Copies of this chain bind each other. A is one copy, B any other.
Amino acid sequence: MPEQFSGSQPIYLQLVQRVCRQIIRKEFPPGGKLPSVRELAVQFGVNPNTVQRVNMELERMGIVESRRGQGMFVTEDESLLTRLRDELKEGELKRFAEEMRDLGYSNEQIIENVQKFLKLNEGLSEERK
């Protein structure tokens, strides 16, 4: 059984991030319904309570809303999704740049490294489940 969770971070946060990314990429389309709590629980191999917690977080972020007795629905406010994506992107860029500078790389070296890395790993993008 391939353990899919990274250990250093709580499972529920990893799932929040995962589902959030899926929503941003519109794999769960705006206005659409998410799988039920129990369904996601078996899909992810975790306890329904954990999924519940994930949904709570997503709802608090505003990208999902729960309708009683019906299910969880992705927000229809697409501007919120793009805004969220931009925020996450900025965060990643900031974190990455800081780390690289911490390791002693100049801006030019950073860009050079990114280009080299992406060139080497071309075609590896799609083998994600």
| CB neighbours of A24 from chain B (8 A) | 103-104
Main secondary structure of the interface of A (DSSP, over half): helix
**7 additional contacts (CB under 8 A) given A85-B103, A88-B103:** A24-B103, A24-B104, A89-B100, A89-B113, A110-B114, A111-B115, A114-B114
| B-binding residues in A (CB < 8 A) | 10-11, 21, 24-25, 68, 85, 88-90, 92-94, 96-97, 99-105, 107, 110-111, 113-115, 117-118, 121-122, 125
Give the number of copies in the complex: 4
In whole angstroms, how far apart are the Cα atoms of A70 and B24 in the complex?
33
- Contact present for B103 and A96 (CB under 8 Å): no
Known contacts: A96-B96, A99-B92. The answer to whether A118 contacts B107 by CB under 8 A is: yes
